[in-house]
Structure 1
Amino acid sequence: MIELRELVEDDKDQLIHHLNNENVVRFLSSRIPSPYTEVDAHWWINEGSKAEIVRSITFSGNFVGIIGVRRDALEKSHRGEIGYWIGQPFWGKGIATEALHIMCQIIFCKTDIVQLYAPVFSPNEGSKRVLTKNGFELEGVITKGILKDGAYYDECIYCRSSS
């Protein structure tokens, strides 16, 4: 069973474990420190995650990842950037797809955000599938839009509006 909940201090060890896995962070923002330390996890749980709409993803009661929305500002405040990650042992189980479905319901029913968008590294086929299964459509591609660890990636922008 998949649930979304607030982050708690008990998530710290798994947060550190998963965010120190190269395969998990390969296509995530460089805003995530590397290596990911106990200090980083404590800050994220108690401060960083509070500035956005962020939830822990749990599977059968266990922390397996994060999903969150960062609202845009000013004339774009009606939209938000959504992002998520799942620990590698839990890939391929439909967890990200279900978590995204739940989060979209929360955002579109309980906030005034009417559009969500997700920038995706071009090789991240798993994330593209999760998005399209949830009604997101490819809006455009920014060639060499991402530079991470010395490599350029095309940035695929997926969007979904509320019904």
Structure 2
Amino acid sequence: MDIQLTDDVSLRSLLYGDASGLAKHGDNPNIAVNQRESFPVPYTIEHARHWIQHAKEHETESRFAIATNKEAIGEIGFLVQGDVHRNSAEISFWISEEYWGQGIVTKAVNSVAEYAFKKRGIKRLFADVIEYNIGSQKVLVKCGFQLEGILRKNICKNGKYYDQYVYARLDEDDYPTIH
């Protein structure tokens, strides 16, 4: 996948050379606070290399770099679920703080959603968002995701409990109705 999001930013496959950009932009407590605790702090080049290797081995068709022509500035992807949930996938994303509020992630989420629906046969994309991550909540709503529910105090992060907001978007173009 190679999609131009703005004049300067594209959505493309992850490259091994993206490690330095991911480490540079991901090593930010304002990004980490919105991620799962598995998101490393500090986010080093070794962490980025390990993540890229994992993505290339296991998620090559569902994990992408958000990049300028110079470097990766974030990433986005989806994880297909298993068994009876095999047509559902969890979407996740982050972008460098210096690019917040420019509409880039909104375009990336829409592009990845269309790709997941049309090319990968996904019927439902969902996202779990910690209660205070208003920016991601707004992006999801702009992209047609609906709030499905709030799981009260379902997230324990850094020893504190937070509500988990669950958003989802369906591919309703050919969604079968089974009675």
Same fold (TM over 0.5): yes
Name the SS of the counterpart of 2:151 in structure 1: strand
The aligned residue for residue 177 of structure 2 is none
The aligned residue for residue 13 of structure 2 is 6
Normalising by structure 2, we get a TM-score of: 0.86
Kept after mapping to 2: 8 A contact 1:59/1:95: no
Aligned amino acid, residue 8 of structure 1: L
Match of 1:99 among 108, 121, 125: 108
Measure how far apart 1:50 and its partner are.
Answer: 3.7
Instruction: Deviation per CA, 1:84-109: give whole Å up to 9, x if none.
Output: 00110000100110000110111011
**CA distance in 2: counterparts of 1:49 and 1:35, whole angstroms:** 22
Contiguous gaps of at least 5 residues in structure 2:
1-5, 173-179
Instruction: Deviation per CA, 1:37-95: give whole Å up to 9, x if none.
Output: 22211111122454221000124664221001001110101100000001100001001
Larger CA deviation: 43-52 vs 90-99? 43-52
Aligned amino acid, residue 130 of structure 2: F
The aligned residue for residue 22 of structure 2 is 15
Identity of matched residues, %: 34
Larger radius of gyration: 2
Match of 1:64 among 73, 87, 97: 73
Instruction: Deviation per CA, 1:118-162: give whole Å up to 9, x if none.
Output: 000011110011000000000000001111111211000000000
**CA distance in 2: counterparts of 1:148 and 1:57, whole angstroms:** 26
Match of 2:160 among 147, 151, 160: 151
The aligned residue for residue 137 of structure 1 is 146
The correspondence of residues 84-123 of structure 1 with structure 2, limited to 5 A, is 84-123=93-132
**CA distance in 2: counterparts of 1:49 and 1:123, whole angstroms:** 31
**CA distance in 2: counterparts of 1:101 and 1:110, whole angstroms:** 14
**CA distance in 2: counterparts of 1:121 and 1:159, whole angstroms:** 15
Larger CA deviation: 52-61 vs 10-19? 52-61
Measure how far apart 1:3 and its partner are.
Answer: 2.2
Q: Say how many residue pairs are matched.
A: 163
Measure how far apart 1:19 and its partner are.
Answer: 2.0
